[in-house]
Structure 1
Amino acid sequence: MSNRRNWLKQTSLGLVGLGIIPLESFAMPTKQDILEPKEDSLIRLKSNENPYGPSALAKNAMSTSIKVSNRYNWELLEELIREIAQKHAVTDQNILLGAGSSEILNVVALYASKKTGNLIIADTTFDYWTITAENAGLKKITIPLTADKKHDLSAMLNAIDSDTRLIYICNPNNPTGTICANEALLHFIKEATKRTKVLVDEAYLDYTDQPSLANLVTENKNLIIAKTFSKIYGLAGSRIGYALAHSETIEEMNQLQFATNGSVSVVSASGALASLKDHKFVAETISLNTAARKYTIEQLEQLQIRCIPSHTNFVYFSLENYNKDFFEQLKKNRIIGTKIYEEKGKWSRITIGTMKEMQQFIKALE
Structure 2
Amino acid sequence: MQRRTMLRQAALTMAAFTLSRDLFAREAFNDPGPLPVEEMIRLGSNENPHGPSPLARKAMMDAVNTSNRYPWSTTSALIDKIAGMYGLKAENVVIGAGSSELLGLTAVLAALQKGNAVIPDPSFRLWVPAARNLGLEMRTVPLNQAKQIDLAAMKGKTDTQTRLIYICNPNNPTGTVIPAPELEAYIRQIPASCIVLLDEAYTEFSNEPSLARLVNECPNLVVAKTFSKMYALAGGRVGFALAHPQTIEKLKNLQPWANAGAGAVSLAGALASLGDEEFVRFCKKENTAARAVFCAALDKAGMTYIPSVTSFVYFNTAGYGRDVKALLESHNITGVRSFEEGSTWRRLSVGTVAEMEKVAAVLKS
The question of 1:365 aligning with 2:363 is answered yes
Report what 1:68 is aligned to. Answer: 66
Report what 1:187 is aligned to. Answer: 185
Cα distance in 2, alignment partners of residues 193 and 241 from structure 1? 27
Cα distance in 1, alignment partners of residues 285 and 85 from structure 2? 22
Report what 1:93 is aligned to. Answer: 91
Deviation (angstroms), 1:270: 0.4
Report what 1:206 is aligned to. Answer: 204
Deviation (angstroms), 1:24: 11
> Does the 8 A contact of 1:118 with 1:163 survive in 2?
yes
Cα distance in 2, alignment partners of residues 331 and 122 from structure 1? 30
Match of 2:302 among 280, 304, 320: 304
Spell out, residue by residue over 1:227-270, the C-alpha distance to the aligned partner (whole angstroms, 9 max, x if none): 00000001101000000000000011111001210111110010
Cα distance in 1, alignment partners of residues 343 and 288 from structure 2? 26
Report what 2:100 is aligned to. Answer: 102
Cα distance in 2, alignment partners of residues 42 and 313 from structure 1? 18
The question of 1:138 aligning with 2:136 is answered yes
Deviation (angstroms), 1:121: 0.2
The question of 1:261 aligning with 2:259 is answered yes
Deviation (angstroms), 1:194: 4.2
1:273-284 to 2 correspondence within 5 Å? 273-284=271-282
Deviation (angstroms), 1:323: 0.5
Match of 1:225 among 210, 223, 226: 223
> Does the 8 A contact of 1:117 with 1:163 survive in 2?
yes
The question of 1:29 aligning with 2:17 is answered yes
Question: Cα gap change, 1:342/1:296 in structure 2, threshold over 3 Å: closer, same or farther?
Answer: same
2:159 match: secondary structure: coil
Cα distance in 2, alignment partners of residues 327 and 351 from structure 1? 13
Match of 2:338 among 329, 337, 340: 340
Deviation (angstroms), 1:38: 3.9
Report what 1:19 is aligned to. Answer: none
Opposite residue 144 of structure 2, the aligned amino acid is: T
> Does the 8 A contact of 2:297 with 2:363 survive in 1?
no
Cα distance in 2, alignment partners of residues 320 and 55 from structure 1? 38
Opposite residue 216 of structure 1, the aligned amino acid is: L
| Unaligned ranges ≥5, structure 2 | 1-9, 32-37
Cα distance in 1, alignment partners of residues 198 and 362 from structure 2? 36
Report what 1:157 is aligned to. Answer: 155
Cα distance in 2, alignment partners of residues 75 and 27 from structure 1? 29
| Stretch deviating more after TM superposition (339-348 or 162-171) | 339-348
Report what 1:56 is aligned to. Answer: 54
| Stretch deviating more after TM superposition (233-242 or 33-42) | 33-42
1:224 match: secondary structure: strand
Aligned-residue sequence identity (percent) comes to 43
Question: Cα gap change, 1:198/1:348 in structure 2, threshold over 3 Å: closer, same or farther?
Answer: same
Cα distance in 1, alignment partners of residues 339 and 51 from structure 2? 27
| Unaligned ranges ≥5, structure 1 | 1-21
TM-score (norm 2): 0.91
Cα distance in 2, alignment partners of residues 365 and 94 from structure 1? 47
Report what 1:241 is aligned to. Answer: 239
Match of 1:287 among 279, 285, 288: 285
Question: Cα gap change, 1:75/1:23 in structure 2, threshold over 3 Å: closer, same or farther?
Answer: farther
Deviation (angstroms), 1:344: 5.2
1:237 match: secondary structure: coil
> Does the 8 A contact of 1:193 with 1:223 survive in 2?
no
Cα distance in 2, alignment partners of residues 51 and 326 from structure 1? 21
Spell out, residue by residue over 1:205-238, the C-alpha distance to the aligned partner (whole angstroms, 9 max, x if none): 0011111011101221100000000000011010
1:341 match: secondary structure: coil
The question of 1:350 aligning with 2:338 is answered no
> Does the 8 A contact of 1:62 with 1:270 survive in 2?
yes
Cα distance in 2, alignment partners of residues 326 and 44 from structure 1? 15
Report what 2:165 is aligned to. Answer: 167
Spell out, residue by residue over 1:268-301, the C-alpha distance to the aligned partner (whole angstroms, 9 max, x if none): 0100111000000000100011011111111111
Q: Give me the CA root mean square deviation.
A: 1.9
Question: Cα gap change, 1:25/1:48 in structure 2, threshold over 3 Å: closer, same or farther?
Answer: closer
Opposite residue 152 of structure 1, the aligned amino acid is: D
2:251 match: secondary structure: helix
Cα distance in 1, alignment partners of residues 48 and 344 from structure 2? 26
Question: Cα gap change, 1:28/1:220 in structure 2, threshold over 3 Å: closer, same or farther?
Answer: farther
1:58 match: secondary structure: helix
Spell out, residue by residue over 1:323-352, the C-alpha distance to the aligned partner (whole angstroms, 9 max, x if none): 012121122111111322224541100111
Deviation (angstroms), 1:110: 0.9
Opposite residue 59 of structure 1, the aligned amino acid is: R
TM-score (norm 1): 0.91
Spell out, residue by residue over 1:77-98, the C-alpha distance to the aligned partner (whole angstroms, 9 max, x if none): 0111000001111000000100
Deviation (angstroms), 1:180: 0.5
1:9-20 to 2 correspondence within 5 Å? none
